[in-house]
Amino acid sequence: MAKHEHVRVAVIGSGFGGLGAAVRLRREGITDFVVLERADAVGGTWRDNSYPGCACDVPSHLYSFSFAPNPDWPRTFSGQRHIRAYLEHVTDTFGIRPHLRLGHEVMRTVWDEEELRWEIETSRGSFSADVVVSATGPLSDPKIPDIPGLADFTGKVFHSARWDHDYDLTGKRVAMVGTGASAIQIVPSIQPKVGRLALFQRTPPWVMPRVDRAISGPERWLHRQLPFTATARRGLLWGIRELQVSAFTKRPDELGLVERLAKANIARSIKDPVLRAKLTPSYRLGCKRILLSNAYYPALAQPNVDVVAAGLKEVRGNVVVAADGTETEVDAIIFGTGFHVTDMPIASRVIGAEGRSLADHWKGGMEALRGATAAGFPNWMTIIGPNTGLGNSSMILMIESQLNYMADYLRQLDVLGGRAALAARPSAVGAWNRRVQARMERSVWKAGGCESWYLDANGRNTTLWPGTTGEFRRETRAVDLSEYEVLRAPAKPSAARRTSRRKEAVQ
């Protein structure tokens, strides 16, 4: 076990959020920090998700930090390999390596109200920190449903985020469970090599064409020589998505035209009317995330693919049984069933000022002031916290806004001086959450007629931001101290006073 180390800031996670926080800390002149990462490399979800066909559905020039532009993106929509390489490049360029503590899984984080600091236990040693920035992200812990009989399945089982590259799918009978963003990339990638593929679909997604192409050499040269051209490209991509927001958040009926285009996309590839009916959603487009693919529907139309329009109900030996009774004999089961988004496991490992875990505090639903701070958890912040997700744009925009908030939070602590902490007032957290939830009621995510991973167990959308990224940036530009209680460490008795107390105790 490593010896105890105290730092000003401890960052948990080294994906986009964690590395962004580390870079911002250094740019603010703060070098007394560590980045605690449970894996053996940086990259977050882009390290963990290495399944066939893995790629981003946000344009490359928008899915990168504004302070670290990449003129050499090879495609308009980049694949996992290039995004992971970009994050490694950011790590090296901004000197983050010395701050990394790889292989350090955070097991428990406890607030010490006497010392006004966090005590952190990891798998390889203990730390303490004045401020903790949790950047574990909502797409970090895979979710596999509790399926009766799964434990007795004699074949291979794995989640899309834990792909087994040593297992050869060639000629195998495979069950793909789920039809989310990962599944629509996996299916066309493995369909040509498997013997037979059964896709278990509870709800069909809306899928639009993916307008992807290679970025030419002259384009990349131009972006290297004239960086403002890449900035302009990013700005155009951002602006287009900002104009789309009102249709998602205020006027879902405006999405009807896009639905017709999506149905035409189905019709182009799926000629069988029975299969086409299975693949046509009955809810408003946008209620679930709109997916992008040119290969998904053609793959489903191939003779070695069966679409089972029902969820997986149970496993009997090597037979998988759907909720509609369909039985399929398979050699492997691949789960594309998402992540623990509204019940993030890290929350059970964070113990706040009242001795309660964050998971217990959020039992009725996640909520955090400006998506960053939770009542009862002083000097604790989260990157990609409650209601900061997006349904149509780049999460990097939201992360950078939260980094602005983090930087001002630390500045405010400096101004306060001494041993101090900021504790979000419950009234401020409640007011912010009520405002967000009220706006959510008009959105397509609540009124679109679907169930999605955006919703928690209580049916509340605690995942997405019901506004533009520009609006969120304005809301997180600076910390409003009226929303916080300033905590001061109790004065420690002088040496003479401590001696006097010891004498009194002896007498």
What gap in Å lies between CA 507 and CA 499, rounded to an integer?
13
Q: How many CB atoms lie within 10 A of CB 205?
A: 23
Look at residues 180, 124, 168 and name the one whose alpha carbon lies nearest to residue 336: 180
Average pLDDT (318-342) is 96
Strand partners, 5: 127
Residue 173 has pLDDT above 50, yes or no: yes
* Model pLDDT, residue 489: 85
Q: What is the pLDDT of residues 9-50, one digit of tens each?
A: 999 999 999 999 999 999 999 999 999 999 999 999 999 999
Q: What percent of the chain is modeled with pLDDT above 90?
A: 95
* Model pLDDT, residue 100: 98
Question: Measuring CA to CA, how many Å separate 227 from each of 181, 215, 340, 412?
Answer: 32, 16, 39, 34
Q: In the numeric block, which tokens belong to residue 288?
A: 């679930």
* Model pLDDT, residue 347: 96
Q: What is the pLDDT of residues 287-300, one digit of tens each?
A: 999 999 999 999 99
Q: What is the pLDDT of residues 228-280, one digit of tens each?
A: 999 999 999 999 999 999 999 999 999 999 999 999 999 999 999 999 999 99
**Range 240-249 burial, b when 16+ CB lie within 10 A, else e:** ebbebbebbb
Q: Are 317 and 241 in contact (CB under 8 A)?
A: no
The tokens 């970090």 sit on which residue?
Answer: 140
What gap in Å lies between CA 350 and CA 341, rounded to an integer?
16
What gap in Å lies between CA 90 and CA 97, rounded to an integer?
10
Position 492 confidence tier, pLDDT thresholds 50, 70, 90: low
Q: Say which residues have a Cβ less than 8 Å from residue 384's Cβ, sequence separation at least 6.
A: 17, 135, 137, 138, 371, 395, 398, 399, 402
Total-model pTM? 0.94
Phi, psi at 238, each rounded to 5°:
-65, -45
Average pLDDT (477-497) is 82
Strand partners, 332: 156, 174
Average pLDDT (176-198) is 97
Average pLDDT (440-465) is 94
Q: What is the pLDDT of residues 40-94, one digit of tens each?
A: 999 999 999 999 999 999 999 999 999 999 999 999 999 999 999 999 999 999 9
* Model pLDDT, residue 227: 96
Look at residues 455, 115, 410 and name the one whose alpha carbon lies nearest to residue 283: 455
Q: What percent of the chain is modeled with pLDDT above 70?
A: 96
Please give the mean pLDDT across all residues of the chain: 94
Look at residues 126, 76, 82 and name the one whose alpha carbon lies nearest to residue 101: 126
* Model pLDDT, residue 377: 98
Alpha helices in 253-376 (DSSP H): 256-269, 273-279, 296-300, 358-361
Residue 506 has pLDDT above 60, yes or no: no
Residue 5 has pLDDT above 90, yes or no: yes
Average pLDDT (309-320) is 96
What gap in Å lies between CA 425 and CA 167, rounded to an integer?
51
Q: What is the pLDDT of residues 102-148, one digit of tens each?
A: 999 999 999 999 999 999 999 999 999 999 999 999 999 999 999 99
* Model pLDDT, residue 495: 47
Average pLDDT (376-383) is 98
* Model pLDDT, residue 2: 52
